[in-house]
Amino acid sequence: MDLQLNGKRAIVTGGSRGIGRAIARTLAAEGASVVIASRGREALDAAATELTEQTGGRVIGITVDTGGQESVDRLVERTVAELGGVDILVNSAATPWSSGKPTDFDSITDDVVREEVEIKVLGYLRTARAVSPHLIEQGWGRIINISGLGARQANSIAQTIRNVSVSALTKNLADELGPHGVNVTVVHPGLTRTERLEARLAERSEREGVPLADLEAELATNSIRRVVDASEVADVVAFLASPRSIAITGDAIAAGGGVPGPVYY
């Protein structure tokens, strides 16, 4: 299937590593020109160079702090100047949820929740605010927000709030921007194989003397009984970013290999 992404122009925040990087690679391989954005200049430059070499496409790194609207506005202005416009926004700039963060009720302070909302929810809102006028003007666009299956699990107040809030943001944007030709969706990855997960498992494997394959199998509690790779999440996002996805907007797409048991409808 031709995703009709050739010549499209995309911004991927959080694009220097993890799922964001995999998404940028797939979009570039499909013919889109891609701006990857994050705070670290060195990591951005390295990622842009590697992705360009891997895909043969055009990948540019631009620094951004999604915690500030001025920085986000500059990102979009530079993207338009470099690429001649923007068609696709993928919001993936958020700190990963990890076991080191508090999960119990007594430990969830206002600041813990506030930080999660500031980075993931308001950061996504700021980028959508800056990009949407360009999408509206041209009468076509795609916004894909990367959230997480934490939206469907009561593991932590802060984690659930941030992910459910991204879904709420997505639905509101979809209804408002839909008449202008802009589709907005949210993707919920589960546990995903990224550089970060691989490093964590390699460290544990060395420490405990357990083969990596066994550690992955232990984590694979989803329906397909294997850890989903970041590239496989990226395939889902690439479809949603394409003109082929016209029938899908406002909804959440789970990309975690299935959750055994519950029925979501």
What is the DSSP code string of 203-247? HHHHHHT--HHHHHHHH--STTSSPEEHHHHHHHHHHHHSGGGTT
Task: Render each residue's pLDDT in the chain as its tens digit; 265 residues.
Answer: 899 999 999 999 999 999 999 999 999 999 999 999 999 899 999 999 999 999 999 999 999 999 999 999 999 999 999 999 999 999 999 877 655 677 788 888 898 889 889 989 999 999 999 999 999 999 999 999 999 998 888 888 888 999 999 999 999 999 999 999 999 999 999 999 999 999 999 999 889 998 989 999 999 999 999 999 999 999 999 999 999 999 999 999 999 999 999 888 8
Answer whether 54's CB lies under 8 Å from 77's CB: no
d(CA 154, CA 245): 30
Q: What are the structural domain ranges in the chain?
A: 9-191+230-255, 193-226
Give the pLDDT confidence score for residue 100 in this predicted structure.
65
The residue type of 210 is: V
pLDDT at 30: 98
How far is it, in rounded angstroms, from Cα 35 to Cα 43? 14
- The 10 Å Cβ neighbour count of residue 84 is 9
Handedness of CA 235, 250, 139, 60 (dihedral sign): negative
If DSSP codes are grouped into helix, strand and coil, which group holds residue 170? helix
DSSP structural state of residue 222: S
User: Tokens 């911004």, residue?
Assistant: 11
Angle at 112 between CA 111 and CA 113, to 5 degrees: 90
Q: What is the rounded CA–CA span in Å between residue 174 and residue 178?
A: 5
Which CATH number, 3.40.50.720, 3.90.1150.10, 3.40.50.300, 2.40.420.20, labels domain 9-191+230-255? 3.40.50.720
CB 253 within 8 A of CB 188: yes
DSSP 56: S
